[in-house]
Amino acid sequence: MEDGTLQETRMDMDNLKCQTKADFTTCLNCSNTHSNLCVKNGTAEVQAFDSGIGKSIKDGVRMAQRRWLMEGNNLARFEGTTGNPEENLKAWEKRVLITNWVGTAWERLCKDKTELIRSCFVRTGNWIGNKHHQESFERVCPQSWKKDYKFNL
The per-residue pLDDT of the chain, averaged, comes to 76
Q: Provide the pLDDT for residue 78.
A: 95
Q: What is the DSSP letter of 16?
A: -
Query: What mean pLDDT do residues 18-38 have?
Result: 78
Give helix 55-70 / helix 91-109 axis angle, nearest 10°.
130
| 50-63: pLDDT as tens digits | 667 777 888 889 99
Q: Provide the pLDDT for residue 140.
A: 54
Cβ count within 10 A of residue 12? 20
Q: Provide the pLDDT for residue 109.
A: 81
CA distances from 80 to 72, 86, 92 (A): 14, 10, 13
Query: Given a cut of 60, is residue 134 above it in pLDDT?
Result: no
Query: Given a cut of 90, is residue 73 above it in pLDDT?
Result: yes
What are the backbone dihedrals phi and psi of residue 47, each rounded to the nearest 5 degrees, phi first? Answer: -90, 120
Q: What is the pTM of this model?
A: 0.53
Query: Given a cut of 80, is residue 145 above it in pLDDT?
Result: no
| 89-118: pLDDT as tens digits | 999 999 999 999 999 888 888 887 777 777
Contact in structure between 27 and 135 (CB atoms under 8 Å) = no
Query: Given a cut of 70, is residue 26 above it in pLDDT?
Result: yes
CA atoms of 143 and 45, how far apart (whole Å): 8
The length of the chain is 153
CA atoms of 56 and 63, how far apart (whole Å): 11
Query: Given a cut of 60, is residue 67 above it in pLDDT?
Result: yes
CA atoms of 31 and 50, how far apart (whole Å): 24
Regarding predicted confidence, which is higher, 136 or 32? Answer: 32
